[in-house]
Amino acid sequence: MAETVLGRETVPVKRRGKFFGKLAKQWQLALMSVPFVLIGMLFSYGPLWGWIMAFQDYSIAKGVTGSPFVGFDNFARIFEDDQFFRVLRNTLAMSLMNMATGFVGAIVLALLLNEVRKTLFKRAIQTITYIPHFVSWVVIANIFSFLLSPDGGIVNVVLMKLNLISEPIYFQGKPEWFWYIQTLANLWKEIGWSTIIYLAVLVGLNPEHYEAAEVDGASRFQKMWHISVPGLMPTAILLLTMSIGWLINSGFESQFVLGNDVVVEYSDVIDLYALRYSIQLSDYAYGMAINMFKTVVSIVLVLGVTFLAKKTNQSRLF
């Protein structure tokens, strides 16, 4: 994509004049882009000089200008650490699970809400479901511990009463269950919030389509399947593409508060790893190397998905 820019730059003088002549006619659109170009770019790309640190034995006292260069040593350290592949696996696994459940969950909820005829009920549920988005992860983790505790937690009490188990299960002490617990908690916390955008798209769909379908005697499911779902798809694909780019950015808060040392082999993620080995140790160079690695992975993923989306003629990110 960047070649496009370069291509424009290197065209012969005559054509360049033509280009600017055309652009001059679009001065209003250009003007609309100015705030983004000036301010958005400054704050997004301005700090990228910091990437230099990733190639240095950086110390704050010496700064970028005074710190010695060490080539790719910091990157080598990342891949030499056997912990790293474990945290990479956990990050991608949980991100994928969160993405899949969040994606399906939000669309289903939006469709179900869209079918509700009672406005008050619809609005109430809509508002209520997005509350957990504003509740901090610590609080959510407290509630989950309370539910899952083997020492009087509700889930265990119910399972015991139903005679399904003879002894309380230590849910939070089962490493291989952690991904599912985290996914469930994340779905619960974010489902309402991620639905908002889909609801906005649904109400924007042309009502004539529904009316026409009704005249044709379409059932509710048919209308949902043939009008609502296709209407949501462009936005859904777009959001999905962005989430794929963010697969490597799982965040760390939920894993930090829900996890513990029993399950750490399944709960540790890249951002927690960076927190321990970079931020806590003031090793900014190492953190920067991890950052660059994440950026590269993101961009490769998103370009790959965009390429596929182009082939299938779906909505594009670029």
- Among positions 72-111, residues that touch another protein (CB under 8 A) are 81, 83, 109
Q: Residue 62 or 69: which CB sits closer to another protein?
A: 62
- Considering the complex, what minimum distance in angstroms separates the CB of residue 243 from another protein? 11
**158 counts as binding another protein under rule CB under 8 A:** no
Question: Of 92, 96, 97, 143, which lies in the binding site for another protein, with binding defined by CB under 8 A?
Answer: 143
**165 counts as binding another protein under rule CB under 8 A:** no
**238 counts as binding another protein under rule CB under 8 A:** yes
- Considering the complex, what minimum distance in angstroms separates the CB of residue 280 from another protein? 7
Residues 6+ apart with CB under 8 A from 176: 266
By CB under 8 A, the residues from 202 to 231 that bind another protein are 203-204, 206-208, 214, 219-221
Question: Of 12, 68, 71, 152, which lies in the binding site for another protein, with binding defined by CB under 8 A?
Answer: 152
- Considering the complex, what minimum distance in angstroms separates the CB of residue 139 from another protein? 6
What count of Cα atoms within 13 Å lies in the side-chain half-sphere of residue 217?
0
**15 counts as binding another protein under rule CB under 8 A:** no
Number of residues in contact with another protein, rule: CB under 8 A?
Answer: 126
Q: Residue 93 or 192: which CB sits closer to another protein?
A: 192
Question: Of 11, 15, 17, 51, which lies in the binding site for another protein, with binding defined by CB under 8 A?
Answer: 51
Structure token pair of residue 15: 């054509």
**280 counts as binding another protein under rule CB under 8 A:** yes
- Considering the complex, what minimum distance in angstroms separates the CB of residue 60 from another protein? 5
* Cα 81 → chain centroid: 26
- Considering the complex, what minimum distance in angstroms separates the CB of residue 71 from another protein? 18
Q: Residue 97 or 237: which CB sits closer to another protein?
A: 237
Long-range pairs, 201-205, Cβ under 8 A, ≥24: 201/231, 201/232, 201/235, 202/110, 202/111, 202/114, 202/228, 202/231, 202/232, 205/231
**Do 115 and 224 form a contact (C-beta atoms < 8 A)?**
yes
**61 counts as binding another protein under rule CB under 8 A:** yes
**157 counts as binding another protein under rule CB under 8 A:** no
Q: Which of 190, 177, 185 is nearest to 260 (CA)?
A: 177
**62 counts as binding another protein under rule CB under 8 A:** yes
Q: Which amino acid is at 260?
A: N
By CB under 8 A, the residues from 298 to 317 that bind another protein are 298-299, 302, 315, 317
- Considering the complex, what minimum distance in angstroms separates the CB of residue 247 from another protein? 11
- Considering the complex, what minimum distance in angstroms separates the CB of residue 119 from another protein? 8
Structure token pair of residue 65: 């200008």
- Please identify, among the stretches 68-76, 94-102, 157-165, 292-300, the one whose residues bind another protein according to the rule CB under 8 A: 292-300
